Amino acid sequence: MNKIHHPSALRNREPIACALQEHVFEKFKIYHSSSWPALEIGSGTGAHAELFAKKFPKLVWQPTEYVEGVASVERGVTVKKLDTLREVLGKLSNVKNPLGLDASTPFESWPEPIQQQGGKFTIVFVCNVFHISSWKVATGILAGSSKALRSGGVLVVYGPFKVDGKFTSDGNQAFDEQLRSQNKEW
């Protein structure tokens, strides 16, 4: 059993990879040519990038994770979340060094390596972020993705969504209630 990754991330990463292959890469012919940059917002422990980097070797992943005080990260202060990502993803040749990102800020405030790739990313992948963050983060991700993605690029968002205004499971409803009790902005 992997003690770094959450069990749900380990359960869902293979089905997500299959869906990416079928509905994104094959449909849009993204994956079949040369190397393409891919941005993951909210990488967590790196469970998804760890698998995706192996399954899609032509994508060069830029993992990110929210870190309070991103400026201190750029000055070289050790931050546990980014250290975990480096530990998990560090040996994968098509994964870049993880960056701290506050996605609620304008794209022009995002880390320099992401800004330099602005308009070049093939995919922006966001997993289980929208339901555990403020509306400002969601709108920041949408606005930032529009500047990060190349023409024809794809924003992929995974998470527990309502269908026709209803939860798809009792577990999702209970989780939503728990999150909202912790922070009304979620």
For residue 166, what are the β-bridge partners?
163
Q: Using H for helix, E for strand and C for coil, what is the string for 118-180? A: CCCEEEEEEECCHHHCCHHHHHHHHHHHHHHEEEEEEEEEECCCCECCECCCHHHHHHHHHHH
* CB count in 10 Å sphere of residue 2: 12
Quick: pLDDT tens for 10-40.
999 999 999 999 888 877 666 556 788 999 9
Farthest-apart Cα atoms in the chain, separation: 47
Percentage of residues in the chain having pLDDT higher than 70:
88
Share of the chain above pLDDT 90, in %: 58
Averaged pLDDT for residues 119-123 = 95
Q: Which residue type is seen at 34?
A: S
Average pLDDT of 36-62?
94
In this structure, what token pair is assigned to residue 149?
A: 């993605």
Token output for 85: 């990502």
